[in-house]
Amino acid sequence: MLGLTSPLWPIHYKPLPDELLSCWLVRLAHGHGMKSQTFCNVIFGNRIQIWNRDIDRLAPSWLLDELSRRTGTSPETVLNTTLRTYEGLLYRQFRLSGALHWILVLKMYHRKREGHGLQFCPTCLAEDTIPYFRKNWRIAFNTVCTRHGTMLLDRCPKCSVAVAVHRLDMARPADVELAPLSYCHICGFDLRAAPATEPIAYDIPTAALLLKVSRIVDTGGKPSPEWDLGRYSVMHQLCKLMTSRYQHVSLRQFVLEQIGTQDMPLAEGHISFEMRSIEERHHLAQLTAWLLMDPERRLTAAWRAQAVRYNVLVKDFHQPPIWYNRIVDNFSNWRNRFIYS
């Protein structure tokens, strides 16, 4: 334990490319031959609980500062392991409570995860020299691996439990120094052995657009001229309307008819996009992206078909981009429905 009190820890791994804070912290604990919970108790004290929250989203500044100091890692690099770095790109402003646009929900209960909020690509894990979990696997519209073009998974294919890297050492306490992080903490299945499946594409250009949108986030989260916060916000608004229970809203059915595909059963109730299964998100994201391939023409067609109303398109939509307002403003006068360009 003596080495852990020194300014620099004996094991001071650096974060791997796009690695999540939670994964990095578990690797540091296991590198010292300790369970993640024990390691945090030794370093931060028993009174401070680390694993009863989504630390990738809610990591306090003192934790990030300590990791920077004890591993010799720059503060910027440490911060980049958290989901806060998507502020200004995927969501407008970070907040400690409530939903964040596009960030998958873990549904923490004590140290358990009841939501399937961490995805993975089995081929990526299999190719890693050190298997680890990426930050972009926490993004809700990412359903396809941008490297391999295969579907991501959001649960163990053997027992269907959510991925929880910090609980792995509870099931395999004797192997914390050697066991990779790719095992299911419940049944022990190696996630690297999960089958890689091809994604179902309803429309090839739309599927290509979604992959492009995901790759923008992969490349450091820098907004592009085509896809900035405004366009991600519109995409989120339309995804929400795809499952709307408002009367006179049938936007999902309209798009299904246009692209000639069947609907799929969706979980009922007021469920946000970020809490849905990967199959549902993959389905809904494709329908939304089809609209965004040509938003002016296709939204106008949906409005003329009475699949969506003007007031719904802007309902609870804070600070929509100018281009979206311009399109939707044309729908405020019902007479425009009969004016064809």
Higher pLDDT, 35 or 177: 35
Q: Where are the domains of the chain?
A: 2-193, 204-338
Of 313, 19, 318, which Cα lies nearest the Cα of 181?
19
Mean pLDDT of 249-261: 95
Within a 10 A sphere around the Cβ of 42, how many other Cβ atoms? Answer: 15
> pLDDT at position 111, please?
56
State what percent of residues in the chain have pLDDT above 70: 90
Residue with tokens 């009174």: 47
Alpha-helical regions (H) of 243-341: 251-259, 278-292, 295-304, 310-313, 322-329
> pLDDT at position 2, please?
44
Higher pLDDT, 239 or 334: 239
Burial of 107 (0-12, 13-18, 19+ CB in 10 A): middle
Residue 45 pLDDT level (bands cut at 50, 70, 90): confident
Indicate the DSSP class of residue 198. Answer: P
**H or E stretch at 112:** strand 112-113
- State the first-to-last Cα distance of the chain, in angstroms, to the nearest integer: 74
Residues 6+ apart with CB under 8 A from 121: 137, 145, 147, 148, 150, 152, 153, 196
Within a 10 A sphere around the Cβ of 36, how many other Cβ atoms? Answer: 24
Higher pLDDT, 5 or 285: 285
Tens of pLDDT, residue by residue over 142-176, are: 999 999 999 999 999 999 999 999 888 876 656 66
Tens of pLDDT, residue by residue over 100-153, are: 999 999 986 655 667 899 999 999 999 999 999 999 999 999 999 999 999 999
**H or E stretch at 231:** helix 229-242
Q: How far apart are CA 239 and CA 64, in angstroms?
A: 34
Enter the pTM of the model.
0.92
Statement: residue 337 has pLDDT above 70: no
Q: How far apart are CA 160 and CA 289, in angstroms?
A: 28
Mean pLDDT of 36-62: 89
Q: How far apart are CA 62 and CA 74, in angstroms?
A: 14
Statement: residue 220 has pLDDT above 90: no
**Token pair for residue 173?**
């306490």
Of 13, 50, 26, 24, which Cα lies nearest the Cα of 167?
26
